[in-house]
Amino acid sequence: MSLTEKLIEEISSNPALGEKLRRLLENVVLESLVKEQQELNRNFQAMLESQGKIWEEIRDLRKETTELRKDLKELREDFNREITSLREEMHTETARLWEETKKLREDFNREITSLREEMHTETARLWEETKKLREDFNREITSLREEMHTETARLWEETKKLREDFNKMLMEIREMKEEGKKRDEKIDSLFKAMLNGFAEMSKFAGMSLEELSRNFLQNYLQGLGVLPKNASLRRKVLDSEEIDIFSENPLIVGEVTGHADSLTELDKLMRKAKLVRERFGAEPRKYLIVLTVAREVYPQIKRKAKEMGVELVIGRVVKRKE
């Protein structure tokens, strides 16, 4: 049996207990209702107070709306007054501007008419001046053409004479070159013969190959005017390098050797020439004098000497020594 069934059975068997229980329940329910009623009253009172505030705010809002409408009405009236005033001012200013524009148009038309008349007069004067200039130009051109024709004929005649003189001078230069070539060939031949006969001459002359070559080159350069008569070629030691043939003014460097079967002697000369160039600040004349040169190296040493600006003097070309 459940607890509820037991409670009902107990109340049924004891009416007094049932009556007490009823009164107790009524008191509890009544007390609960009173509390709820009080809570409702408090809520209602709070709602009334809130509603009062709302109505107060509504009254304030209506008041503000009324004042805003009044301000808007005044603003509209001020706006209409300003617009009316601006329209009147704009109308007056527009009328003044139209009047000024009309005057400007009249002044513009007057100036344009005056400028057109001046331009027409000036253009007519310029055309007249241009016509005179054309006549003067044609006159000057005709005169210049006649003068140019005369001057050109004179210049052609002078050019013809200059050509004839130039041809004569060219012929003389060619003859001088031919004579100089023959002279150089004779000198080279003589120099080579001198070198070839050095072995036989040295025992009688008592001179070394270096001394003989230096004296002969000195006389040769003095004869050409390269070396002054009062100057001489000498031997010089520069920074432990022995230079066989040397002159400071004009700057000359030379190397003398009995035989060459490689480019060593040419390289030696170029090393000494570089030393002299660095010391005296100028490029020296370079001479390489060789008594005999190997046939196998002769073309190469001749080509290299020409490329390096070295004047090469060779006595004889012989077979390479075994």
Neighbours of 238 (CB within 10 A): 14
Distance CA 239, CA 79 (A): 110
pLDDT of residue 203: 47
Per-chain mean pLDDT for the chain: 81
208 or 79, which is more confident? 79
Query: What is the second-level CATH architecture of the domain 197-318?
Result: 3-Layer(aba) Sandwich (3.40)
Least confident residue range of 64-68, 137-141, 173-177:
173-177
User: pLDDT-derived band of residue 106, with 50, 70 and 90 as boundaries?
Assistant: confident
For the CA atoms of 72, 74, 75, 78, what is the dihedral angle to 10 degrees? Answer: 160
Least confident residue range of 25-29, 109-113, 118-122, 277-281:
25-29
User: pLDDT-derived band of residue 178, with 50, 70 and 90 as boundaries?
Assistant: low
User: What residue ranges in 57-149 does DSSP mark as E strands?
Assistant: none
Burial zone of 269 (CB within 10 Å; 0-12 exposed, 13-18 middle, 19+ buried): buried
Q: Is residue 160's pLDDT more than 70? A: yes
Distance CA 319, CA 292 (A): 9
This model's pTM is above 0.75: no
Quote the distance between the C-alpha of residue 226 and its chain's center.
49
Backbone phi, psi, residue 201, to 5°: -75, -30
